[in-house]
Amino acid sequence: MNAYTDKKPEAAHEARSGFPRRDLLALFALLSLLTLGLGGWLTSLGFGPWYDDLLKPPFQPPGWLFSPVWTLLFALLALATWRIAREGPVARLALWAYGFQLILNVFWSLFFFTLHQPGWALIDIVLLDGLVIAMVFLYGRIDRVAGRLLVPYVIWLGLATAINIWVVIYN
């Protein structure tokens, strides 16, 4: 028994969020896949002569590494968001931040690759950096594990930001 319901502790999460636990996880996994797919499609539109002619930083990882890293990061993001969403209304602000960061993430691909506007992409990614750092703290206040699951995302965004800065300065 617990303060939310007279059900078992596992069922309390469902009572607080209004969704069965597995449905929530599937929802956040689907949102991750949709965001990755849309971002990947927008990125693919920008490959070609414009991208090939860019001066890229010497610290940029090889191209083949980006897809698996983003997939892992978005899996961690889905898991972290699922963990906090089960807590119901207390997670409302964190969930708004989650949704907004998905939008900023897609817009970065649009600005940088599709529109060939690395300056606009830099503004976007700096906003994204700040939002994801805030999410670490928001999620962490609700569930410490969820906050920690976002740390690799912050680190990778730091690298992506450094690459974006380098491209803006040297191109």
Flag whether 107 is in a domain: yes
Flag whether 42 is in a domain: yes
Residue 89 has pLDDT above 70, yes or no: yes
Token pair for 25: 């996880």
Residue 16 has pLDDT above 90, yes or no: no
Flag whether 6 is in a domain: no
- Cα(25)–Cα(31) distance, rounded to whole angstroms? 10
- Cα(35)–Cα(55) distance, rounded to whole angstroms? 27
Flag whether 108 is in a domain: yes
Percent of the chain as helix, strand, coil, to the nearest 5: 80, 0, 20
| Number of domains forming the structure of the chain | 1
Flag whether 127 is in a domain: yes
Residue 111 has pLDDT above 80, yes or no: yes
pLDDT digits (tens, 9 = 90+) for 138-163: 999 999 999 999 999 999 999 999 99
Flag whether 95 is in a domain: yes
Flag whether 166 is in a domain: yes
- Cα(25)–Cα(10) distance, rounded to whole angstroms? 15
Collect all residues with Cβ–Cβ distance below 8 Å to 93 and sequence separation of at least 6. Answer: 138
Flag whether 2 is in a domain: no
* Global pTM value: 0.87
* 115: CATH: 1.20.1260.100
Structural domain of residue 41, as residue ranges?
Answer: 20-170
